[in-house]
Amino acid sequence: MVSSPSAAVPRRPLTITPASVIVVCVVALVSIGLAVLFSASSPLKGGPYAFLYKQLIFLALAIGAGWLIAIADLEQLRKFAWVAAGLVLFGLVLVLFTRPVNGSRRWLGVGGLGLQISEFAKLALVFALAHYLALNQSRLHDFWRGFVLPLAWIGLFAGLVIVEPDFGAALLLGTIGLLLLFLAGARLKFLLPSIGLALLGFGLLVLANPVRLQRVLSFLDPEANRQGAGYQPWQALLAFAAGGVDGVGLGNGRQQNAFLPEAHTDYIFAILGEELGLIFTLLVVALFVTIFVAGLMHVRRAPNLFQFLLVTGSLLLISLQAIINLGVVTSLLPSKGMSLPFISAGGSNLLLMGLLVGIIINTARTWERPKPLVRKRALTEVVA
C-alpha cells in the first residue's frame, strides 16, 4: 500500500514556550478587563459602552505598537536608546507646563489623545539602563561608571515624575532602576546605602504632604478613616465582601454606582471581586503569577546582558504594577493610584503593556531555543 505524501511528512510537535504562556495569560487578562469595563461603564455618563469603546481603541493601538516592536531588531534599536530617553525626559519637562488635572500635571495632548508621559518613562528608563549597563559591563564595579552615572539617570527620571506629582510612578521607577543595577552586577556596598537614602527621602516626602500622610494613617486603620482618606479602600473591601465566592453577576454590583471612585481604573479589581467573585479574583492573581514565573523561565535564555536586563525590566514593570495595585485595593498597601495591567481603563498604560509584551515576543522569536537535554552532563553544562 502506498502512503499519501501528506502522511510521509512528519508533524512538528507542539511546543509550549514560556513566551506563549505569557501571551495566553495576557489575552485572558485583557478579555476579563473588557468584560468588567463594560459593566463599570454602564452607570456612568456617556452610555454603557463609553469606557469600552475607548479601551478598544487603545487596545488596537497597543497591539499595533507591540507588533512593531516584536518584529524590530532590538540590537539596532539600542542605537536610539539615548534618543528615546531624551525625548521622554523632554516630555516629562513639557508636561509640567500643562493645565493641572485633579491637582497633577501628568497628561500631554498628542494627536488628540491624552498621554501620560510617566508611563512611557518607565520603559525609557529600562531601555536606557539596559543599554548603558551592557555597554559598561566590564566597569560595573567602578564607583562612577558602574553606580553614580546610572543612579543619576534613575534620579532624573524619578525626580521629574515626583514634581508632577506622581509618587507611585516615581517609587516604581526607583525600585526597578535599583533592581536592574543589582542584577547587572553593581556592588552591594554602593547599592545598600543608596536604598536606605531613597527610603528616607520617600519617607520625608510622605511626612511633608498631608494627603500622603493621611493615606498612610488610613491604611493602618481603614475602618476609623472610612469617611476620609480611607473611603476608597473601605468601599473596595465592601465590594469584595458583597461578591463572595461567585459574585453578584456582571452589571449587578452596587459599588460601581458612584460608591467607589475610580471604579474603572485604579479600583477595577474591587468591581471584579464584587461582580465575578473570589473565583475570578484568584484567577487574575494566578494569571499574573504565571506571567512572572514564565518570564523568569524565558529570561534565562538571554544571549547578552542588554536583552537580559531589557526583558527582566519589562517583566518587573508588569509584575510590580500588578502587586502594587492588588495590594492597594485589598488594603495590604497604602492607597496609591496605580493601574492594574491589561485590565484597568487607561490608554497610556495599555500602550506601555503592549510594548512590553512586544519585547517579550521579539526575544522569543530571536533567541535560540534550548537544545534537548538528553544527558545529565548536558544539563549541568547548561545550568553552569
| Domain spans, the chain | 28-71+231-367, 79-208
126: confidence class by pLDDT, cuts 50, 70, 90: very high
Determine the Cα–Cα distance for residues 240 and 88; give it in Å rounded to an integer: 38
pTM: 0.86
- Tens-digit pLDDT profile for residues 217-231: 777 776 666 666 677
Assigned C-alpha cell, 39: 459593566
Can you give the pLDDT at residue 147?
A: 85
Which pLDDT does position 42 carry in this prediction? 58
DSSP 250: T
Q: What is the largest CA-CA distance in the chain?
A: 86
Q: How far is CA 24 from CA 16, 20, 59, in A?
A: 11, 6, 16
pLDDT tens, 20-35?
Answer: 999 999 999 999 999 8
The percent of residues above 90 in pLDDT, for the chain, comes to: 36
Q: What single DSSP character describes residue 303?
A: S
Host H or E run for residue 352: helix 347-366
CB crowding 143-158: b at 16 or more within 10 Å, else e: eebbbeebbebbbbbb
Of 158, 174, 171, the residue nearest 89 (C-alpha): 158
User: Residue 15: how many CB atoms within 10 A of its CB?
Assistant: 7
